[in-house]
Structure formats: structure tokens, C-alpha cells
Amino acid sequence: MANRSGVVESGRRGWARLAIAVAVADLVLIAAGGALAADRMHPKASASRPVAAVPGATPHRTASARPSPRRTIILPPRIDYRVGQTATVVDHRSGAKLEITASGPRVWTTAIQSYGYGPARGYYLSFSMRIVNPGAVQVELVYADFLADVPGLSGVTVEDGNSPYSGAPNQLDGLAGLNPGQTLTGVLTFDVPGVHGDLRWVSGGQTQARWFY
């Protein structure tokens, strides 16, 4: 009987230890669950880690809300034309405006009229001109400001060589005041050694228009 009682007592002690172990495990699980719930309700701020730069990659830029200024490009006025085309020249300071058409040229190797003289340099180039003042102010024209350029010689005026004695009818020379709304027509004749080049109108020391022929 003594042996049987010892066995029973030993079994009871084993079951008691197992119950204590299970209770401890339950307490551990309950504590862990509470901590997890607390973390979910009050998440901890995690320290940010620096992102390693990728070699050759362009860094991303955040778009700025400030408007960026636009680049303004001022184009120079057109000065080059073919003969027969009309050049429009405007002086914004004075309000002066001219429309100039140069046509031709007609080429002569002798005097244009029988009473005239032949060209001293080989050729007369005679351009038909039409000049309109569509502006609101008077414009003074100096015909010596029209220049002919040919290979080997540039800046030839209507007063050079035998041009004044060519006998060209309706030759424009000297100067003229062109009133608003007025139109001038006539001829500019140049004594030059070639028949190809350009005709320029110079005003204020700068070429304002140029016609190629």
C-alpha cells in the first residue's frame, strides 16, 4: 500500500508541475499579446535610413511652386531681300516708317541717252525705285545713302563715276523730304565694274535694307 501511495503522490506532483507550466505559458502569451496591441495602437517612429546614391543617377528635384521666368529673345530686323521685294524700315523712336522697293537692274554699257556719257567703269546699273512713307512723320531721304556693291568694289553712290552724266531719265539724286502718305518713284543709276552684287540703303551709319541682284 505504501508503494501505491507513493506512486499516486508522485503523479499528483507531476500534474501540478504541468498545470503551473501551462499557466506560466498562458501568462507569457497574454503579456506578448498586450505588447503587440500596444505597439499597434502607439506605433514607434522608426529611424530613417539614408538611401545609398546610385552612381550616374540624376537626383530627383521637387517641383517648385514659384513660376520660372521665361527667356525673351529679341530677333534682329530683316534687312536682306531679293530685287523686286519691298523692305519695310521702322524707327520706333521717331515713329518714321518707309516701304522701299528696288527692282531691276537694267544694265547699260553705253550712255543711256544720246547726250550722255558712257560708264567709266564698264557698266551702268539702273534700279527702278518706289519709296512710300506710310508713317506719321516726314522722312528726309539722301540718295547718296543708297550704295551699290560688286566684287572688288563696294560703297558706290549715284554720284560716283559717270553716273550723274549717264542720261538716265527720272534719276533720283540729291535729297528729298517725303511727307506722310507720299510716294516717290524714280531711278538710281550706278557706274560699276560688274553686274552682280547688292544694293544697300544706309541710314544712321547702319545698313537698313539690302537687295541682292
Query: At 93, which CATH number?
Result: 2.60.40.1240
Based on the domain organization, do 36 and 84 belong to the same domain? no
pLDDT tens, position by position, 107-127: 999 999 999 999 999 999 999
For residue 75, being part of any structural domain is answered with no
For residue 22, pLDDT beyond 80: no
Helices within 88-149 (DSSP H only): none
Give residue 151's domain range: 80-212
Distant-in-sequence, close-in-space partners of 86: CB < 8 Å, separation ≥ 6: 99, 100, 101, 130
Write down the pLDDT at residue 68.
54
pLDDT at res. 65: 56
Average pLDDT over residues 144-164: 97
Q: What is the pLDDT of residue 35?
A: 43
- Please state the pTM of the whole predicted model: 0.64
Looking at the predicted structure, is the pLDDT value of residue 13 above 50? no
The count of structural domains within the chain is 2
Per-residue pLDDT of 62-102, as tens digits, reads 555 555 545 444 445 789 999 999 999 998 888 899 999 99
- Lowest-pLDDT range of 49-53, 94-98, 147-151, 181-185: 49-53
Q: Which residue has the higher pLDDT, 175 or 146?
A: 146
Mark whether 107 and 201 lie in a shared domain: yes
What's residue 146's pLDDT? 98
Any domain includes 50: no
| 152 domain-assigned | yes
More confident residue, 131 or 44: 131
In a domain, 158, yes or no: yes
- Is the separation of the CB atoms in 189 and 133 below 8 Å? no
pLDDT digits (tens, 9 = 90+) for 180-201: 999 999 999 999 999 999 999 9
- CA-CA distance, 27 to 35, in Å (whole number)? 12
- State what percent of residues in the chain have pLDDT above 90: 58
Q: 16 vs 169, which has greater pLDDT?
A: 169
Would you say residue 167 lies in a domain? yes
Q: What's the chain's average pLDDT?
A: 77
Given this model, what pLDDT does residue 3 score?
Answer: 41
